[in-house]
Structure 1
Amino acid sequence: MRRYAQAKQWQDMVKGHQRRRPGKLDPFKPYLARRWEETGGKITGRVLFEEITARGYRGSRTLLAQWKHQALMAPDSAPPPPPPPSIRQVTGWLTRHPAGLTPDEEVQRKAILAHCPQLDTAAGLVTSFAEMLTHLEGNRLTEWITEAMTSGLPGISTFAVGLNSDYNAVHAGLTTHWNSGHVEGTVNRIKMLKRQMFGRASFALLRKRVLLAS
């Protein structure tokens, strides 16, 4: 009731608006700021504490140290370095089309590749394989496999060995315009119907749904 009677407006009470009480250090902040400016930031916290204690300060030295760090030292300190990019971000920069990168992402990508020769080699192989896949340049497959196997990069070398073991099929996929996209789409559609009907229908109903969907 006392809080309601002292509130200037009823919104102050509803929103919980309360006037901030002055702290023990507040009366001495102008003096501290002036002393910090006069000494060019060379004065120590111990000296400041002794000076304001002589002027009536009754707070703790910890409170002074916290305020000094936040109000006096923070503006002059260098900003913290940005966090390093995650593995997922770097992977996206290497596998996405360069035209899809923002200027900031392109700068970070170049900086990372400049600091890691192995990653730069991997980026070159990924880009060349993507161009070969997009433009159906199967005639470059042998050259790419040789370069990947001699790169010394475990993941890409293993991938190249797998391509070499099924060379004829991979070469056909990178040369002709025929693909198994329609077959894969039908398989995915059948799997979706199976998940929808699992445990709720017999095989006859599932078969009918598959045939009707086709």
Structure 2
Amino acid sequence: MGYRGSYGRVSAYLREKRTSPRPVTAQPPAPRVVTRWILSRPETLTEIEQIRLKAVLANCPELDALTDHVRSFAQMLTERQGERLPQWLDAVRQDDLPSLHTLAAGIDRDRDAVIAGLTLPWSSGVVEGHVNRIKMLKRQMFGRAGFALLRKRVLLAE
């Protein structure tokens, strides 16, 4: 009569757990997900994603400031507003975001080139793509054959 067996113990354990529910807490989004939300155009996010992003930004003022800077830079880039770069750099320096300070220092070293890249319609992207392709072929061929074979591969790899 006193023997309940393992089934009885499991049953009692489950009954106890069912009667004492734990509070449900929402799991925070993964950093990769938050990064995607920040880097996406706001109008492309679903309503739920926008609400969750607002909640994350409300709890972290540094992330909120970072989001403003990232979206402002993206607008400069897509709308070719390079003349706004000096104001953007000043705004970045005013916030306490060390990683953006490093980016701003790098941009400052080539300020004229960055402004031209953000303003002018011309791009060297096609040329850079070809250079990248040729370098890749050269790395693949390293130590295997001479210049004649490398030349053939470059000419035939279109």
Name the structure 1 match of 2:115: 171
User: Per-residue deviation at 1:67?
Assistant: 2.3
Structure 2 unaligned segments of length 5 or more: list them. none
**In the comparison of the two structures, how many residue pairs are matched?**
158
Name the structure 2 match of 1:35: none
Q: 2: distance between equivalents of 1:119 and 1:81?
A: 22
User: Per-residue deviation at 1:103?
Assistant: 2.6
Q: 2: distance between equivalents of 1:191 and 1:57?
A: 80
User: Per-residue deviation at 1:195?
Assistant: 4.5
Instruction: Give the 3-state SS of the residue equivalent to 1:174 in structure 2.
Output: helix
RMSD: 2.4
Q: 2: distance between equivalents of 1:64 and 1:198?
A: 71
Q: 1: distance between equivalents of 2:7 and 2:14?
A: 11
Q: 2: distance between equivalents of 1:65 and 1:200?
A: 71
User: Per-residue deviation at 1:181?
Assistant: 0.6
Which amino acid in 2 is paired with 1:197? M
Which amino acid in 1 is paired with 2:44? G
Q: Which one of 136, 149, 152 corresponds to residue 205 of structure 1?
A: 149
TM score, norm. by length of structure 1: 0.65
Q: Which one of 27, 43, 46 corresponds to residue 102 of structure 1?
A: 46
Name the structure 2 match of 1:140: 84
Written as runs of structure 1 = structure 2, the 5 A alignment for 1:111-130 is 111-130=55-74
Q: Which one of 99, 114, 119 corresponds to residue 155 of structure 1?
A: 99
> Comparing 134-143 with 79-88, which one deviates more in the overlay?
79-88
Name the structure 2 match of 1:66: 10
User: Per-residue deviation at 1:136?
Assistant: 0.4
Q: 1: distance between equivalents of 2:135 and 2:142?
A: 10
Residue pair 1:193, 1:206 contacting (<8 A) in 2 also: yes
Q: Which one of 7, 21, 43 corresponds to residue 77 of structure 1?
A: 21
Structure 1 unaligned segments of length 5 or more: list them. 1-55
Alignment deviations for residues 150-197 of structure 1 (CA, whole Å, 9 cap, x no partner): 111001111112212211101101110111211221022213323443
Which amino acid in 2 is paired with 1:138? G
User: Per-residue deviation at 1:75?
Assistant: 6.8
TM score, norm. by length of structure 2: 0.85
CA gap 1:76/1:91 in 2 versus in 1, 3 angstroms: same
